[in-house]
Amino acid sequence: MDVSDESRISRRGVIGGGVAAAAIVVSPGGVGNGSGMRTVATMPVSIDVNGERRALDLDPRTTLLDALREHLHLTGTKKGCDHGQCGACTVIVNGERINSCLSLALQHDGDSVTTIEGLGRADELHPMQAAFVEHDGYQCGYCTPGQICSAVSVLKEIEAGVPSHVTGDLSARMQPTGAELRERMSGNICRCGAYSNIAAAIAHVAGEKA
């Protein structure tokens, strides 16, 4: 078998696999029903979003990010890379931050999700939101909702004594040092490079100097 044969077989396999995968989510009456339309099977999910129970019927492949943005129209949570690399989609689930682009909505049935819209209101900002404003912790603002959700969780992680890569003495009470804050925020990318002001805002809330 030469390389081109292998390549052909490989491509056939991939195409076959793709058809099989599609068949899983297409209902029996959906294909060849004469309408030219494909019916996609959906599944119910119920998620507490910003304190409100939201019931949805979703294509099982829907990410939590798309459920929030496209189905619940909570567009404060941003889609940057859609691959878990930028942190723009960070939300807080059951008290812990996650990249919502890497998580299927159906995995969060019964969970409690907080987005930037649920942290504070325009007339009553969360202390972290207020600190970002005070310290000019943004330029275009695209990464900011993810930065703020992440930062709120970071301070809780430190308070709970969850170690990071730069934590030294694990037996000592953990402090929100500049090194701890920067390490823990390293998954949130800011293309505008507003890092020093972001660090200052978080340090302000933590009561430390960045």
Binding site for ligand FES (CB under 6 A): 79-82, 84-89, 99, 101, 138-144, 190-192, 194
The pair of structure tokens assigned to 56 is 């949805």
CB of 149 to ligand FES, least distance (A): 12
Q: Which is nearer to ligand FES, 100 or 167 (CB)?
A: 100
CB of 77 to ligand FES, least distance (A): 9
The pair of structure tokens assigned to 196 is 């020093």
73 φ, ψ to 5°?
Answer: 60, 30
Q: Which is nearer to ligand FES, 100 or 177 (CB)?
A: 100
Of 120, 192, 182, residue with least CA distance to 154: 182
CB of 98 to ligand FES, least distance (A): 9
Q: Which is nearer to ligand FES, 83 or 173 (CB)?
A: 83
Signed CA dihedral, 142, 178, 126, 100: sign only: positive
CB of 73 to ligand FES, least distance (A): 18
57 φ, ψ to 5°?
Answer: -110, 115
